[in-house]
Amino acid sequence: MNVSIRTPAMGENWHVLSESNMKHLYYSVAQTIAHHTVTGCNMSAGDMLGSGTISAPEKSGYGSMLELCWAGKEVIPLPGGEERKFL
């Protein structure tokens, strides 16, 4: 999973802000399904489950702008001199 951003000043180029992996999820997919079904709520073909934000222990793998900018306390530098704190 990666988090990328593209601004009008960047043209067609995307800038990768972070990269992570599903191995950093709090619950695995199997655990999520078990938790969902343990109370009798059956799963059916076509059901969708959301994982929430996939993050990582180090800043290079944070999964949201809120984490990347420490709730607006740090700027996120972008190519061309642009900066972001929030979208």
Tens of pLDDT, residue by residue over 51-69, are 888 889 898 899 888 899 9
Q: Which residues contact 5 (CB under 8 A, 6 or more apart)?
A: 14, 15, 17, 78, 84, 87
pTM: 0.70
Give the pLDDT of residue 63.
Answer: 87
Give pLDDT tens digits for 16-48. Answer: 999 999 888 888 889 989 998 998 999 999 999
Q: Which residues on adjacent β-strands are paired with residue 16?
A: 4
Output DSSP code: residue 33.
Answer: H
Q: Domain boundaries in the chain?
A: 2-84
Judge whether 66 and 52 are in contact, CB under 8 Å: no
Q: Which residues on adjacent β-strands are paired with residue 5?
A: 15
